[in-house]
Amino acid sequence: MSAADEALPQPDPGSSPGPPQPQIPPTIHQLSFNQDFTCFSAATDRGFLVFNTDPYRLLLRRDFDTGLSLVSMLFRFEVFALVGSFSAPATSTNTNTKALLWDDHASRCVGELSFRSPIRSIRLRRDTIIVTLLHKIYVYNFSDLKLLHQLETTSNPKGLCEVSQDSGPMVLVCPGLQKGTVRVESYGSKRCKFINAHSSNITCLALTPDGRSLATASSKGTLIRVFNTLDGTLIQEVRRGADRAEIYSLAFSSTAQWLAASSDKGTVHVFSLKVDSVALEDDRSSSASESPVPNQSALSSLSILKGVLPKYFSSEWSVAQFRLPEGSQYIVAFGQQRNTVMIIGMNGSLHRCQFDPVNGGQMTQIEEFNFLKPEETFSMSE
């Protein structure tokens, strides 16, 4: 990797742990979970924060002379991909066009990637770095930053792109060149497949760790579809609601028994899935007690009239729900404890909730934190 020690100001040596100066909470620019949901990170107007999810605690705080727009973690390794204005003026057109690899153990940048247009998202694997721009995606080798592949997409302002995380060849999913299509790039078989997922623009994607199952949502936000990435077949369709909504996040549970979704309506939904990731089938059979019992509330009682009444009446609905205040963007993931979900918000909230896999209904909140409160966030030791 090329050295980039001067690209980013060195962090304040006393920035973690210890109280900040001043005590005004930072402004969050982006939130994301790591690959196995054991941590989450926040890109702020001062630098970035990393928290452990269970138990909740601050792991890392790094303050720089400039704010960050994106932070991407690699599991629990001390290597981060950072995107921000860096040395460019705030009014510069070069804002967010550079990605830096930050080695926190060495407290220095160890590599950088520069582009002509703003970076929309970054995904990390142990062997690759995937950078998404408005119309292109670049895949790099992690060890030497050699360009391996580039793909063209339709306009992709959200930087939608997900990659498999299990060992073995990568599966990458992203918007295709046509509205409503998803491109599935299987690097092991060197095959590319296009799935006609929706009639409107794709707005959210999720991929199981093995890359075999894909969840998609469109700009309508009413239906969520799950596909088999191997052959592109539709596995299941579930309904979030009847009104239009912006889906903020989708997440599979580790065993692919469940799918969670958050939206601008303020309700987090958990859906029961019919199919499991093939790679985890043996694990599932050895823990059959965890398997969901068919929940009648999840399937409309009018399903007997399927084909006669509109599709809405035979839709599969969520098993469990949790209501949040509207007006903030929330990201959802599954917890390390059985039948739990974690919800982080741009307002600094963290909710841990438990759902009943048999009876469903409203989830029970177990914990709630405000990770922007100085006394909760910054007074914690490493």
pLDDT score at 310: 55
Neighbouring C-beta atoms of residue 356, cutoff 10 Å: 15
Distance from the Cα of residue 340 to its chain's centroid: 17
| Distance separating alpha carbons of residues 211 and 113, to the nearest angstrom | 26
106 in Cβ contact with 129 (< 8 Å): no
Strand, helix or coil for residue 106: coil
pLDDT score at 92: 52
Exposure string for 306-340, b = 16+ CB within 10 A, e = fewer = eeeeeeeebbbbbbbbbebeeeebbbbbbbeeebb
Q: Tokens 């209501």 map to which residue?
A: 323
Strand partners, 246: none
| Distance separating alpha carbons of residues 160 and 156, to the nearest angstrom | 7
pLDDT tens for the chain, 382 residues: list them.
333 443 444 454 445 554 545 578 889 999 999 999 999 999 999 999 999 999 999 999 999 888 999 999 999 988 999 998 655 454 455 689 999 999 998 888 999 999 999 999 999 999 999 999 999 999 999 999 999 999 999 999 999 999 999 988 999 999 999 999 999 999 999 999 999 999 999 999 999 999 999 999 999 999 999 999 999 999 999 999 889 999 999 999 999 999 999 999 999 999 999 865 444 443 433 333 333 434 444 444 444 444 544 555 567 899 999 999 888 999 999 999 999 999 999 999 999 999 999 999 999 999 999 998 855 544 333 3
160 in Cβ contact with 151 (< 8 Å): no
Kindly list the distances between the CA atom of residue 156 and the CA atoms of 49, 131, 214, 307, 333, in Å, as whole numbers in the listed order.
27, 12, 18, 35, 23
> Taking the CA of residue 173 as centre, how many other CA atoms within 13 Å lie in the half-sphere pointing to its CB?
31
| Distance separating alpha carbons of residues 32 and 26, to the nearest angstrom | 16
Exposure string for 178-216, b = 16+ CB within 10 A, e = fewer = ebbbbbbbbbeeeeebebebbeebbbbbbbbbbbbbbbb
The answer for 42, left when phi > 0, alpha when psi is -120 to 50, beta otherwise, is beta
| Distance separating alpha carbons of residues 66 and 86, to the nearest angstrom | 6
Phi, psi of 279 (to 5 degrees): -65, -20
User: What would the DSSP string read from start to end of 318-356?
Assistant: -SEEEE--TTS-EEEEE-SSTTEEEEEETTSEEEEEE--
pLDDT score at 86: 56
Q: Tokens 């006394």 map to which residue?
A: 375
Residues with Cβ within 8 Å of 370's Cβ and at least 6 positions away in sequence, in order, are 348, 349, 350, 376
Q: Tokens 């582009």 map to which residue?
A: 115
| Distance separating alpha carbons of residues 96 and 75, to the nearest angstrom | 23
281 in Cβ contact with 291 (< 8 Å): no
| DSSP letter assigned to residue 314 | G
| Distance separating alpha carbons of residues 130 and 139, to the nearest angstrom | 5
Strand, helix or coil for residue 304: helix
Catalogue the E-assigned strands of 116-211: 121-124, 128-132, 136-141, 147-152, 162-163, 171-175, 181-186, 191-196, 202-207
| Distance separating alpha carbons of residues 159 and 144, to the nearest angstrom | 24
